[in-house]
Amino acid sequence: MSDSSAATAAVSDGTLGEVMGRLVLYALLVLLGVYFILPLAIVVITSLREQGEILRNGVLSWPEEVSARAWREAMFNSCVGTDCRGMAPYFWNSVKMVVPATATSTILGAITGYALTKFKFPGSEFFFAATIFGIFLPAQLFLLPTAQMLGWLGATNIWGLVIIHNLYGLAFTTLFFRNYYVQIPDEIVAAARIDGAGFFAIFRRIVLPLSPPIIVVVVIWQFTHIWNEFLYGATFTTGTDLPITAALYAVTGPKGGIRDYGVEAAAVIIAALPTLLVYVAAGKYFVRGLTAGSLKG
């Protein structure tokens, strides 16, 4: 075989190997996609079936007839204890908790991260280390002191949960903002200070306009974490003050000896829908924001 023929054969073998490698990779990605999407698909399909059909054909079957009955029951008529107003009031409880907690913890984290990077003070590194240490402590460790604090404040309700998520989330938001702000050249801040700009003036006019990528990351992180949190909601709220995750636990289970799988499935989707929509709408910005702050740390 001539040298040119051997070279052509080598190129062909390399191209074939590359194609086969890509096919295997795509096949694995499809399998993983199916694996992760299948539970959600089953829950959605179950929520669109009648109870009699589910009992007759089982949970894992295609609906004979699409019905919105389970969604109406879950949203407006399902019972959480003795309260049979559905999931709507508890959904609103979570909204009242998530929006102020996310906004406040994001603002506090931005200011704290900015102060720790551009206006360092004696003990700032220790303060940062102590703040980040809170990330590695289990949530159960805070239950007793948190219960005492909320008892003193008389805030064993949704607004008490807002306080908890602000305090607990500050460690995460500070870490995100601090690691992002180290990229901003210190010379810009120093020049602004020479020109007479103060702490908040520099933050508002220089640092904040550079912050949208990390703000998106922090808002998505805090929103999903706070919305999905269960332990504090189930521990520190009762009755009509429950967030939707704690109410969801009370909705699921047999009623009168029979489980209404359609209502349970619809309630699960209602509880998960906001975080799903956030990730679908802003997931790519979350990844961009994380990578934007990965050059230094």
Which residues constitute the domain of residue 231? 89-292
pLDDT score, position 183: 87
Task: Tell me whether residue 217 is in a domain.
Answer: yes
Instruction: Tell me, yes or no, whether 108 and 213 share the same domain.
Output: yes
Instruction: Tell me, yes or no, whether 56 and 106 share the same domain.
Output: no
Helices marked H in 141-211 — which ranges? 143-153, 158-181, 186-194, 199-202
Q: How far apart are CA 129 and CA 171, in angstroms?
A: 10
Instruction: Tell me, yes or no, whether 155 and 67 share the same domain.
Output: no
Instruction: Tell me, yes or no, whether 19 and 101 share the same domain.
Output: no
Return the closest-CA partner of residue 231 out of 242, 221, 220, 223.
Answer: 242
Domain boundary among 74, 99, 119: 74
pLDDT score, position 85: 83
Task: Tell me whether residue 174 is in a domain.
Answer: yes
Instruction: Tell me, yes or no, whether 49 and 23 share the same domain.
Output: yes
pLDDT score, position 26: 92
At 136, which CATH number?
A: 1.10.3720.10
Instruction: Tell me, yes or no, whether 42 and 156 share the same domain.
Output: no
Task: Tell me whether residue 125 is in a domain.
Answer: yes
Instruction: Tell me, yes or no, whether 135 and 18 share the same domain.
Output: no
Task: Tell me whether residue 126 is in a domain.
Answer: yes
pLDDT score, position 86: 86
Domain boundary among 74, 109, 124: 74
What residues have CB less than 8 Å from 264, skipping those under 6 apart? 74, 251, 252
Instruction: Tell me, yes or no, whether 136 and 281 share the same domain.
Output: yes
Residue 127 scores a pLDDT above 90? no
Instruction: Tell me, yes or no, whether 70 and 93 share the same domain.
Output: no
Domain boundary among 34, 51, 74: 74
Instruction: Tell me, yes or no, whether 131 and 227 share the same domain.
Output: yes
- The per-residue pLDDT of the chain, averaged, comes to 85
Residue 274 scores a pLDDT above 90? yes
Residues 163-182: tens digit of each pLDDT: 999 988 998 999 999 989 98
pLDDT score, position 53: 87
Q: How far apart are CA 177 and CA 174, in angstroms?
A: 5
Burial degree of 66 (CB within 10 A; 0-12, 13-18, 19+): exposed
Helices marked H in the chain — which ranges? 3-47, 51-57, 69-72, 88-118, 124-133, 143-153, 158-181, 186-194, 199-202, 212-228, 231-236, 244-251, 261-292
pLDDT score, position 174: 92
Instruction: Tell me, yes or no, whether 111 and 10 share the same domain.
Output: no
pLDDT score, position 82: 78
pLDDT score, position 30: 93
pLDDT score, position 160: 92
Task: Tell me whether residue 98 is in a domain.
Answer: yes
Task: Tell me whether residue 83 is in a domain.
Answer: no
Task: Tell me whether residue 153 is in a domain.
Answer: yes
Residue 13 scores a pLDDT above 60? no
pTM: 0.84
pLDDT score, position 288: 73
Q: Which of 64-68, 225-229, 285-289 bottoms out in mean pLDDT, i.e. has the lowest?
A: 285-289
Task: Tell me whether residue 23 is in a domain.
Answer: yes
Total of domains in the chain: 2
What residues have CB less than 8 Å from 218, skipping those under 6 apart? 105, 106, 109, 110, 172, 173, 176, 177
Instruction: Tell me, yes or no, whether 129 and 267 share the same domain.
Output: yes
- Scan for tokens 């808002």, then name that residue: 219
